[in-house]
Structure 1
Amino acid sequence: MSLGVFIFCIVVGVLCGTTGVGGIVLPPAFMYWEGMETHSAMAITLSSFMVPSLFAIATFRKRGWFDWKASLPLAVGGFVGGIPGGSLNAYVPGKWLVCLLACIIIFAGVAAVRPQKEEGGTRYAFWHRRRGLFCIGAFTGFMAGMTGAGGAVLSIPWMVAVGYSPLISMGAAMLMQVGIILTATVGNAMAGHMLWGALFWLTVALVLGFWIGMRIVMYLPVRTLRIIIGVLCVGLGFFLLFRNLLG
């Protein structure tokens, strides 16, 4: 891995540590700058988030930003949804699936930025129950399994849009990702897509970036963090959309 790409990965780690999203730009960076094969680029990107996700969960718990009641149903849903999603991956055209995912991410990002209205706590009541969180996780896991994208880029803006704190949403997404990453890593290793040397240095860069990002997020107001997450998701959604339509 070149020094320039390593620094770029640290910057992406800062974004992920601050907002929980951003890793989706790494596979094309590896393909274009490092000449990496597509499956290997996607495999090491997803696997590289295992250690940063565990690090983030530990940090969030220490600072009181982690809610098990919200995180567990989301994680179970993500695991359940990821199984059929991964099974359908080989049978559905990937290009159009990624375009669909991009449109959903854009919609969720816009919804996250939109100011919340006080409506007696009833408008989004379903999404604050275990069934609602399970549905978010299941749909996210299903889309992640079919497209290879990480779940956080969809679950975080969705949870923020229905009234969860950005920090609680980020912590829940980190736990959900662990299961997705674990199963994907085993599958990719068996298929021979893992580049262990590149994975090591990518993990180092992301952990460093996560550490910086999680220090930054301590000083960001909730409204500012909602806007950053929303704008970043809209940008990433358009990035995915145009990359697939023009690629």
Structure 2
Amino acid sequence: MDYLFLGGLLLLGAFTGFAAGLLGIGGGMLLVPFLTMMFTAQKFPIEHVVHMAIATSLTTILFTSVSSVRAHHAHGAVRWDLIKWLGIGGFVGTLLGAQIASLVRTPVLSLIFGVFVSYSAFQMLRAKKKAADGGSGLPGNGGKFGVGTLIGAISSLVGAGGGFITVPYLSKHGVSMHQSVATSAAMGFPIAAGALVGYVVAGQRFADVLPALSLGFIYGPAVLGTAISSVLFAPLGARTAHGMDVSSLKKVFASLLFCLAGYMLWKAASTSGLLS
């Protein structure tokens, strides 16, 4: 592993951490395409670069979610009553979803990610606030478990912590936006934990072709490099957000997401042989 690659990981972590703190978004939608680029440049097995990018992205959430949740909990914003069943479902969903993702070919996985990020960017541009009623419209414990499982399964396919699903879902069902964001951040930990276990197990079948320092599909140096700088820069982004209007920045960020989605769609086409 060269120093340029390590420096790139640290820079990527700093950028995604700052963006997460500034705009309240998860870093997965940034990490996956950039890690895919970097892993491809490092000549990692092309049939597994997207799987490794998704697994690595999700694992970093184990570190970044802790500091975020502590801050939200200090303000009493995390709805732990919702996290209990949503979180268990999220863990199960990513654990099982990782096994499914390992069977999906790189072009299809790239296509899924590209479509999902395009949709997320569109939603960011048209986001509207909902009236809060405390979450009275949410289903019972079994329903919450089912929703959490679905969120976890989708997260395992796109490498994001589920915020772009959890936040709209909770706010749509009457939970205040502040509590929705905080609860979504707390959901990141069980989702990442399920992904860690799931992608380690799923990657064992390919251990002979994956690069050194990999744990299943998870590339250890990338987790360490991005997590360290992300944790350091996320609070800076959060502090910056309080002193400026970020509505215009969200438009710029949505444009970046469209570009990254385009790259992943190109990756899907190129690895499937459509561009050859």
TM-score band w.r.t. shorter chain: 0.7 to 0.9
1:141 to 138, 143, 152: 152
Count of residues in Structure 1 that have an aligned counterpart in Structure 2: 242
Structure 1: how far apart are the matches of 2:89 and 2:161? 11
Structure 2: how far apart are the matches of 1:232 and 1:152? 20
Q: Which residue of 2 aligns with 1:22?
A: 27
Alpha-carbon contact 1:108-1:157 (below 8 Å) kept: no
Structure 2: how far apart are the matches of 1:12 and 1:135? 30
Which structure 1 segments of 5+ residues have no match? none
> The residue matched to 1:77 in structure 2 has which SS?
helix
How far 1:67 moved relative to its partner?
A: 2.3
How large is the Cα RMSD of the aligned pairs? 3.8
Alpha-carbon contact 1:14-1:212 (below 8 Å) kept: yes
Alpha-carbon contact 1:110-1:234 (below 8 Å) kept: no
Structure 2: how far apart are the matches of 1:245 and 1:164? 40
How far 1:58 moved relative to its partner?
A: 0.4
Q: Which residue of 2 aligns with 1:202?
A: 226
How far 1:57 moved relative to its partner?
A: 0.4
Deviations 1:163-202 (A, max 9, x none): 6555433322322221232233245556334444443232
Alpha-carbon contact 1:71-1:172 (below 8 Å) kept: yes
Deviations 1:130-161 (A, max 9, x none): 5665454322211233x251233542563377
**What does 1:1-247 correspond to in 2, within 5 Å?**
1-18=5-22, 19-26=24-31, 27-32=35-40, 34-36=42-44, 38=49, 39-114=51-126, 116=128, 126=137, 128-130=138-140, 134-145=145-156, 147=157, 149-152=159-162, 154-156=164-166, 158-159=168-169, 162=172, 165-189=176-200, 191=204, 192-193=215-216, 194-219=218-243, 224=247, 227=250, 231=254, 235=258, 236-247=260-271
How far 1:3 moved relative to its partner?
A: 2.7
State the one-letter code of the partner of 2:39: M
State the one-letter code of the partner of 1:231: A
State the one-letter code of the partner of 2:30: V
How far 1:204 moved relative to its partner?
A: 1.0
Which structure 2 segments of 5+ residues have no match? 205-214, 272-276
State the one-letter code of the partner of 1:200: L
Structure 2: how far apart are the matches of 1:90 and 1:149? 13
Alpha-carbon contact 1:20-1:152 (below 8 Å) kept: no
How far 1:11 moved relative to its partner?
A: 0.9
Structure 2: how far apart are the matches of 1:241 and 1:98? 6
Structure 1: how far apart are the matches of 2:170 and 2:250? 10
How far 1:79 moved relative to its partner?
A: 2.1
Alpha-carbon contact 1:108-1:158 (below 8 Å) kept: no
Alpha carbons of structure 1 residues 112 and 50: separation in structure 2 relative to 1, 3 Å: same
Q: Is the radius of gyration larger for structure 1 or structure 2?
A: 2
- Taking structure 2 as the reference length, the TM-score comes to 0.67
How far 1:28 moved relative to its partner?
A: 1.8
State the one-letter code of the partner of 2:87: A
Structure 1: how far apart are the matches of 2:164 and 2:127? 19
Structure 2: how far apart are the matches of 1:125 and 1:240? 39
Structure 2: how far apart are the matches of 1:45 and 1:52? 11
